[in-house]
Amino acid sequence: MTKRILVVDDHQFVRSKLKQAFELDNSYVVYEAGDGIQAIEQADSVEPDLVVMDFSMPRMNGLDASRALKKKRPELPIVLFTTHQNVLGKADAANAGVSATISKSDGLATLLKQVNELLETTH
């Protein structure tokens, strides 16, 4: 069964690279949102199996969007993929319902591995 991933980042380049990596590597279906508000709207219609979320975005940041998504779907795994990993406390991410936090400097391979592990354990 094909898994649905929602990629949320305010940079189109990042979203397209992540979409390309997920679809090539793992045959996932990838949906995109440019900020936290779009993420909540997309999640309602798409019902993703997992969300990859940036932290710093206009209109609504990744932690606030994660909290809102978790209220609707507590089982939804959310991976925070951010350059601000050192700024965020683990407690902040955990309180927002984030399953894992990956630094963008760790690269796509680390993100792909984490996503695969989460999807294997949740479904």
Mean pLDDT of 60-65: 92
Given a cut of 70, whether residue 86 has pLDDT beyond it is no
Helices marked H in the chain — which ranges? 12-26, 36-46, 62-72, 90-95, 108-122
Task: Please give the pLDDT value at position 70.
Answer: 95
Given a cut of 70, whether residue 4 has pLDDT beyond it is yes
pTM: 0.91
Residues 5-43: tens digit of each pLDDT: 999 999 999 999 999 999 886 669 999 999 999 999 999
Cα separation, 4 vs 51, whole angstroms: 9
Q: Per the CATH hierarchy, to which homologous superfamily does domain 4-122 belong?
A: Response regulator (3.40.50.2300)
Mean pLDDT of 95-123: 87
